[in-house]
Structure 1
Amino acid sequence: MYIGTAGATEKAQWNKMDPEKRKALEASGMKAWMAWGKAHADAIVDQGRPLGKTKRASSQGIADIKNGMTGYAIVQAESHEAAARMFENHPHFAIFPGDSVEIMECLPLPGQ
């Protein structure tokens, strides 16, 4: 899960940046992201997508909420540690103002 917050965007002064500078940084970030994808193409099961607005359904009903998840990708690796290492210095936080990438294992369903 790609994690990003308003605080990280503010810290990077992303929205206060000169528009031309931000546009150039976005272009270099996307180039780096594509290079990351090519370098890990054999491990990427689903390149993912950006995530939009969030709703929560619970016993109290449906509500609009906010969380830090901004996108996802699905990768396959020899171990949880190996999957995490794939995201070291990822453009999401090395170039763009993302906070981090959280790596979670997809576990088998109980009883299967």
Structure 2
Amino acid sequence: MPRFLAVYSMKAEDLARFRAMPKAEQDAVDAVGLPAWDAWEKRNAASLLDRGGMVGKTVRASKNGIGPYTNDFCGYVIVEAKTAEDAARLFLDHPHITIFPGDGVDIMPFLT
């Protein structure tokens, strides 16, 4: 069955807004979101090849050298599905976009 890289994205301004909330409000979101995320993983366990994880700040290596870089990438997971659309459907109710300030989940097939 085809494999897909699912990339969690979050706009910097959305993360900043979340981090500007009082700690108690952030904790309340986490108290709902983290168990929902765990439940999502359990519901979709058969499709998860690598649970991936969330990531921190980016350092880019390019022809100009190495330095900090900004993008919306904040995490990933590797899933298995018949089509990219089937893979995308797994994320329609994902807490990243329904509870947390996530922007979306981009689905890309592995070609090799």
Name the counterpart of 2:26: 22
Higher RCO (Cα < 8 Å, 6 or more apart) = 2
Q: For structure 1, list consecutive stretches of 5 or more residues without a partner in the other structure.
A: none
Cα deviation per residue 1:44-96 (whole Å; 9 max; x = unaligned)?
00000111221221221112111110000000001111000000021001100
Runs of 4+ in 1 over 4 A off after TM superposition: none
Q: Please tell me whether residue 6 in structure 1 is matched to residue 12 in structure 2.
A: yes
Q: Give the Cα separation in 2 of the matches to 1:37 and 1:90.
A: 9
Larger radius of gyration between Structure 1 and Structure 2: 1
Q: Please tell me whether residue 92 in structure 1 is matched to residue 96 in structure 2.
A: yes
User: TM-score, with normalisation over the residues of structure 1?
Assistant: 0.87
RMSD over equivalenced CA pairs, Å: 1.3
The structure with the greater share of residues assigned to strand is 2
User: TM-score, with normalisation over the residues of structure 2?
Assistant: 0.87
2:9 counterpart letter in structure 1: I
Percent sequence identity is 42
Moved more, 32-41 or 53-62: 53-62
Q: For structure 2, list consecutive stretches of 5 or more residues without a partner in the other structure.
A: 1-6
Q: Give the Cα separation in 2 of the matches to 1:63 and 1:19.
A: 31
Q: How many residues align?
A: 106
Partner of 1:88, secondary structure, is: coil
